[in-house]
Structure 1
Amino acid sequence: MEKNLTFLEDMKKAFDAFKNTPKDELLFTYNGVMYPTAICDTETFQTIETFEAREEDLMMVAYPKCGTNWTMLLLNGILDAAYKKEPAKVIPMIEFKAPNKFERLKAEPSPRVLGTHMHYGNIPQPFFDKKVKMLVSFRNPKDTAVSLFNFYKNNPVLPTYNSWDDFFPDFMAGKVIWGSYFDHAVVWNKHIDKDTVLLKTFEDMKEDLKGSVEKICKFFGISITEEQVKQIAEKGTFKSMKENSEKTHGSLGQVVFRKGDVGDWKNYFSEAQSQEVDAKFEECLGGTKLGELLKYNVHCTW
């Protein structure tokens, strides 16, 4: 029975178990980073250290709220088009806990779509030993912060902030789930030129989704038709994902898919907060390749 649990059933089970959990027990720290207790635990982190990665795996890496579910949907669409392979009925995020998860992943035929929110330095070594290709998704820090704030606000298994002004200092200090956005960005910028890394931005995907699908296919060495690319892009619009969210994510759909906009940060940030992020971005990513890819001056100015 356990082996037939679907992704949605796994997530519902995890969330239901933590509905009445005291606020101070909703998060825990592992290796200096905070994680949600409802979907992560120490045992899972220890298990993935020896996870059997495969060279054919398609790995998605993203800081939370930087296009995770969007990118995973595109990858699954590409595999379906190329190999008639349906999404696995198991949570694809490697650090998320679930019953018999790793046995089920081991039984999953290649190519597998896997994902993680973890910092580069915490990704299990087997993924690097096998030279697994990683599609890394980033989003401008201001929209990421606002999206993460609303994720906290609407998520029953995360602590609730009274206001955006209460959340902002914790985001800047990295005292949020999966740690500091800027720590993630600084390290990935160092690996941006590797053959096994393709860095895509949320904003570029919004601007040219069809072109993004084509680049993703080329990166992973997957051949599909022009018509299939077009269909994947059409199904992968935010409007389409939101309309289908109940089917794909159940009751979590409305939590995961909120607006999907570029520039929503202007409805939240004060001038001082905007300047604080500007300074931090310049300190961490000014003059870098990742900084250039994020088009900060286009997407993060008033």
Structure 2
Amino acid sequence: MSIIFTEVENPNNCKARPFHGTAGIVRATIDPATYDQLPFPKDYKYFSCLQPRTYVDWAERIQNFKVRSDDIWVLGFPKTGSTWIQNIVYPLKNNLDSTIFSPLNNFLEIHSILDNIDGDEEFAKFIERREKLFEELDTLPSPRLMKSHLPAYLLPKEIWTVRPKLIHMSRDVKDVAVSHYHMCRNSIFLPYKGSAHEFFHSFYNDYFVWGPYHQHVQSFRQLHHLDHLLLMTYEELSANTLASVKRLSEFLGCKYSDEDLHQLIEQASFEKMQRKLTTIPGFNPDFKFCRKGKVGGYRDEMSEEDVKNFDEWTERNKKELAIE
């Protein structure tokens, strides 16, 4: 499978860089002719994904990563709820174990987006060990709970032939952007010091790592027919958590009573994660990785102009990508 890399130019004079601390940004696309052995529809649309230049050196290793049939992969654009899902799936597969799963645990491509950045001793140690950490993913006991923010076509090839369970999360993009803004303002490897408006301007101009957002989501929605892929949204998980957890449990072949599931929901609640996920390498020590988790929280922080721009951008993408 061939990945094509091209340089990325700044569109529409975006002032917020999509990634800080690297030598530059590349656009990764797939040569469809090299993907014909996988079970993608003939009319599958391949898009492109922005990645830091450091990804180029890791892309082939990620594509050739050995997948196990009993793996569980939590997938989705950053800040769509993957950490919440991880902390629901882990107890489902481990007899309701109340261990809180860190957002950096078993994160497939974390090693490919890191650069040597001063200022955080613990994070510097993490970077130094990234080669070993990637190799250690192969030695994790089964079933592994893996995580990735990559679009479908950049995931390990064996995901589509070995067919492990896949859970993809999506979320209102305005909430994603606001959550991402706060994360980057408190991140050592994604540091951002500009205004919220400039940050959002880059986001809805598709000048953002792991983006464009709508194309990322559509890369999975085109595969909705696959029985080992479960598509979920942050909004449905928030609105009816018990029904969503039951759906997850059934998808993973787990059997628990409603009482058990209520216990799981309590131990994986946003408030519990917020209290326990307090110190994460690469972030300011006072930053709450689980910040608010509120559906529609963008209304408290986004200007009317930015809301309008996001909505118009979303509508254009829905028409172009045939998103319902």
Range into which the TM-score falls when normalised by the shorter chain: 0.7 to 0.9
Residue number in structure 1 paired with 2:22: 25
> Where does residue 95 of structure 1 map in the other structure?
109
Deviations 1:72-108 (A, max 9, x none): 11111212217999979x8311112224234322222
Q: CA deviation at 1:276?
A: 2.4
**Structure 2 contact 64–158 (Cα < 8 Å) conserved:** yes
1:169 shift after superposition: 1.6
Contact 2:218 2:321 in 1 (8 A): no
Q: Deviations over 1:2-55 (max 9, x none)?
A: xxxxxxxxxxxxxxxxxxxx9553764362644468xx6444332121111011
Q: Determine the structure 2 residue equivalent to 1:214.
A: 246
2:61 equivalent to 1:64: no
Which residue number corresponds to residue 303 of structure 2? 270
The alpha carbon displacement at 1:124 in A equals 1.6
C-alpha spacing 1:286/1:189, structure 2 compared with 1 (3 Å) = farther
What is the CA-CA distance between 1:111 and the residue it aligns to?
A: 1.2
Q: Does 1:195 align with 2:232?
A: no
Does the residue aligned with 2:278 lie in a helix, a strand or coil? helix
Matched residues in 2 for 1:107 and 1:172: separation? 39
Residue 215 of structure 1 deviates from its aligned partner by 0.8
The Cα of 1:134 is off from its aligned counterpart by: 0.9
Aligned to 2:293: 260
1:67 Cα offset (Å): 0.5
SS of match in other structure, 2:167: strand
Matched, 1:282 2:315: yes
Kept in 1, the 8 Å contact 2:278–2:288? The answer is no
Other structure's SS at 1:25 match: coil
Unaligned runs of 5+ residues in structure 2 are 1-18, 29-47, 112-129
Which structure is higher in helix share?
Answer: 1
Q: Where do residues 1-302 of structure 1 align in structure 2 (5 Å cutoff)?
A: 23=20, 25=22, 28-29=25-26, 31=28, 33-35=49-51, 41-81=55-95, 91-97=105-111, 98-246=130-278, 249=280, 252=283, 254-285=287-318, 291=324
Letter in 1 for 2:223: H
- Equivalent pair of 2:50/2:211 in contact (CA under 8 Å): yes
Query: Structure 1 residues 215, 255: CA separation in 2 closer, same or farther (over 3 Å shift)?
Result: same
Look up the equivalent residue of 2:277 and give its one-letter code: S
Distance 1:271 1:83, change over 3 A: closer
TM value normalised by structure 2: 0.72
Q: Superposition RMSD on alpha carbons, in Å?
A: 3.0
* Paired residues of 2:274 and 2:288 also in contact (CA < 8 A): no
CA contact (8 A) 2:73 2:165 kept: yes
The amino acid across from 2:93 in the alignment is: L
What is the number of residues matched between the two proteins?
266
Unpaired runs of at least 5, structure 1: 1-21, 292-302
Partners of 2:21 and 2:320 in 1: CA distance: 40
1:176 deviates by: 1.5
